[in-house]
Chain A
């Protein structure tokens, strides 16, 4: 029972530190330096990468693609979601069509995106959007569907017109699920953009990951991946924060 006195978060830090230490020693003692790097060497490589302008540019471009793809996903997803979700007829008729598109594994049509948009940022943004819009559409539709009819009936009986019902009852009611959609959309956009980045090996981040793998520079590969992971986690956390911030009032 003594261990129950230690705060779980503190023990978590200890576990992470222990993992890094084991990794450090194992990599130094047994690891092949062509394949694995101890964390200390990865940290050192991080500073080396920070001085290479091309790598900074590639990482910056990836950030830009992620943000643009996310914004497009949200705007398009919200528009489509509202069109499909707000009327019973469009929901019944178009929702299955959207589910059909959602069932297509987009990874298989990645080459088409590159054919259509080239190897630059456009294809990665488009591919990210193709992943990101679906969670947004699905949650917006779900939010519009789950409104309790009694709320609308009440508003109507108090003399609200259709517009007032929309802005005062339906939209506020959709806010929580919309923010859940933002978070899921961000996860999907990250998958799409990063997959496309890794696929296109002629330029951008994919070029460097391929180069570091082929020339056996694991410390640089680990460092680059760590930077991208940090960016991804930051974006994820921002969305999670927004979700908890805007869904708190909702029971």
Chain B
């Protein structure tokens, strides 16, 4: 078993090493234009200088600002509306399919409208992130709150729980795992769509910077920024997993 784990690691490391080696050889020995794929070494150099110089801050700030605002709007609207809908089984029957149906429309299609309404600046990206994150949040809030085990509710009520007690001590803890999954999905979708819409049309932000470097054929720097965004995405993912693992622990 232990030897198997070692062999698996070997294949993983070997695979990544082979890709990097092929990249370096193709760009230095091959006939690949550096405008298309820059040498690995120069990407690394640009990446290090990008981190050292801190010139990523303005773009990172814009993107994170858009993400934070869009996500907060979606999280608040999604949980409040989801809570309101989940209050009665009848309204769940009305609204749950409605939200699920709207969710089937790719929200990215609304982006041209948002550009028209909110302009090419951060406003349209915030609206896009909020729209795309709203649906997983609202759907998981409805799902989480309306499928709480009835016997918990009956037990709490027979022990004389007041409505606020019922919400904070019974409904919310029971629904939390599903709710957190929805929030996590919403945050990731918002991040991806904000990067995507910055790529489509924008003045600032990480997505915009990458396109701009690409259009100026500064591909080495562009790859450095792509690496930077990937690192941010991995950090975001790791942070979410950590938060989820902590929050999902049943209160002892």
Taking beta carbons and an 8 Å cutoff, which residues of A are in contact with B? Answer: 3-4, 8-9, 11-12, 15-16, 35-36, 88-89, 92-94, 96-97, 103-105, 107-112, 115-116, 187, 190-191, 194-195, 198-199, 201, 209-210, 212-213, 216, 218, 221-222, 225, 228-229, 232-233, 236-237
Contact = CB atoms under 8 A, between A and B. Distances in A.
Interface of B: 4-5, 7-12, 15-16, 35-36, 90, 93-94, 97-98, 101, 104-106, 108-113, 115-117, 191-193, 195-196, 199-201, 206-207, 210-211, 214-215, 222, 225-226, 229-230, 233-234, 237
Contacts of B214: 111-112, 115
Contacts of A11: 94
A191 B192 CA distance: 10
Nearest to A239: B104
B189 to A, nearest CB: 9
Contacts of B112: 198, 209-210, 212-213, 221, 225
Given A105-B195, A194-B108, A92 B4 contact: yes
Contact of B199 (A3, A108, A213): A108
13 contacts: A8-B94, A88-B4, A89-B11, A93-B8, A103-B237, A108-B207, A108-B230, A109-B226, A110-B196, A190-B106, A191-B108, A225-B113, A233-B101
A133 to B, nearest CB: 16
Chain A, interface SS category = helix
B192 A107 contact: yes
Nearest to B222: A111
B16 A107 contact: no
A109 B5 CA distance: 33
Contact of B229 (A16, A108, A187, A225): A108
Contacts of A107: 192-193, 195-196, 199, 207
Given A96-B12, A105-B191, A15 B98 contact: yes
B11 A233 contact: no
A36 B222 CA distance: 37
Contacts of B234: 103
A31 B115 CA distance: 16
Given A97-B15, A111-B215, A213 B109 contact: no
A3 B191 CA distance: 40
B8 A213 contact: no
Nearest to A14: B94
